[in-house]
Structure 1
Amino acid sequence: MFRIATFNMENLDEDPADEPGRPTFAERAAVLRPALERLRADILCLQEVHGQERPGLPRDLLALKALISGTRYARHQVISTRLRDGSQVYDKRNLVTLIPPDFQLMEAQQVNGEFVPNPYYQRTVAGDAEPRRLNWERPLLWTRIASPNGVEMHILNAHFKSKLATPASNLMEDRYTWTSAAGWAEGFFVSSMKRVGAALEARAVIDFIFEADPRALIIVAGDLNANSDEVPVMALRGRTEDTGNGRLGHRVMMPLENNVPESSRYTLFHHGQGEMIDHLLASRGFVQAFSHAEIHNEILPDESVAFAGDEKHPESDHAPVVAAFHDDLLNPPVPIA
């Protein structure tokens, strides 16, 4: 079986410097390493991987490299988001795609406003004097790779804006306390625009790929902060029922978690309710070789329970999702005589 997985690592970093009580890197590694090994992934898409600094050196993914040392991923190629000048990784919440050492990396790029220009918005409640550009928070990490037998595939690693309201300093007492319900609502609206805008741009990338190759193998993997029937994911799916155009049927992206029983179909636990916000969406070429999906949510903590912060849970509050495909996916199709 060939396996692809996605996992939000929840702020993977070295030992916290000024946060007493939070788990150490060693404590986190003790639970995260077995979780990664259990995935048995060939391609692994990670979110929320922090960068670390050393004097005189570019910021790098030192915590991640220490985590995967000695695991099945130790020799994988590491592709990550970077600052626009390419000099180093971001300090917080990098996207990272790990690919097998025998795969060829054909191309890697990050997309943030190149396919769908970031719009301007003038907040009325917050009293913006001028419109401000809305960035999507995090870029899309797009890698084009090839199997040892030359089968190309596109992996889109994404982490869309959360549902938390975008802050407005003049309307907040502190990080979590708003002075106005309307101000919070406007912040919530701004976050929604960022989330849907990032989804629109990812969909534009998908269509761009299909224009060049109608049979392209495409996976969208990541923390989309939306359930399968919410606008960001629906925008990515592009269902015929929504476009009304059967000729676009080959461009539909299918959520592979639909293979999992509904009672177990969740990757986040919030107020006792499971939410499916981490996804693997696949083009038809992938689905033809699809075997099954898994969601490793057996010991997922409820991230909303009072006093249940990161300091009590060294594991992530997201469950990883993995999809298994038959090995013939990696071989070029046999020409029809």
Structure 2
Amino acid sequence: MRSPTLDRPSRATAPDEPVPEARTSAPASPAANLWRWDRGDGQWGDRLARQRTLTTDQGTYELRYLALAPAGEHPQDQRFGIVHFDGSGKLRWQAELGKHFVATGAMVRAGELIHATHHSAISSGAHVSTIDATSGQVRWTVELAALGPISHSQYHNETQIELDDRGLVIYGNEAQGAYTEVLDPKSGKQLGLSRPDPRFVGLVWEGKGPSEPFAAPGPAELVVGSTRYVLAGSDDRQAPARLARMDGPETVWTLPLRSRGSCTHAAMRVVDAELWVALYCAFASGVELFAVDTASGTRVREVGVRGLGPIDHSEYYNEVALDVLHGHVVVRGREAAGRYIEIVDPAVGASRVGLTFRD
């Protein structure tokens, strides 16, 4: 359904738009140090990372071309933006965001505001705009620092967007690299910019596919030379599970863990002097990741693994594998709702890259 051409809403440009120097520098920032990509059509929690259509109780919002280029005009002159239809399908407003050749983008809604990326799918860089969901007024538009200007003949450029406790988070994936850029959702001011290790951005899922059955996990045990690390659960939901290091017949230490009753499973790997443990339930979503000092049995750090995010379910299945790649801890989760790979830097105990694979 094509909408009629309406007058362009008034547009406000952020007064604190990034200065040109920001395009040539890429400071690592704690606010932006996680790069996350959803390679399927599912949800990250209650947000859709790359959606171009939003359906709400106020109607439908579509990120699209506003009109075809008139005869004689170059396709690059096509106006791209957001169109809002009410519940009956009547056009309420449209907001022009720019003129991009082979335009694309993604959007997320927060209250009465819509935040949208918009850019060319075959050229570098991107813009972000915030639009009033009721009136269609564009509050502000900024150009991302991203990777900076890139000369090219053939190119691809994708973005995903979400809002979390860091701010408005844009994940860019371009032919020349990837980036995470965080903006203040009120002003568009840049809060952080970082680029992930390229060795992890292109990882693909390896292992069981979505149609293969889930296996009942056996006893959790890791053998390193003459040392065994053993996780023993309990049928008593009040009793803690216990993680133990055993050198031959001798128990060196025992660490009580949070009780999950009979639903306690784990994958384990040793990285330098730490035992990394991915603790999970085979019948519920999510995983708990932490490191234990191999000498003392002391729990030294925890990492919040985002995985697929919260999943509502009645019946569920969950398998987790733990590996080490390029000195990083790799969590591979396969759940009833999809699969994910999360890369954790063990030196600081923080996620660096998160990839989800939806069916």
Structure 1 length-normalised TM: 0.25
Structure with greater contact order relative to length (CA < 8 Å, sep ≥ 6): 1
Higher strand share: 2
Structure 2 length-normalised TM: 0.24
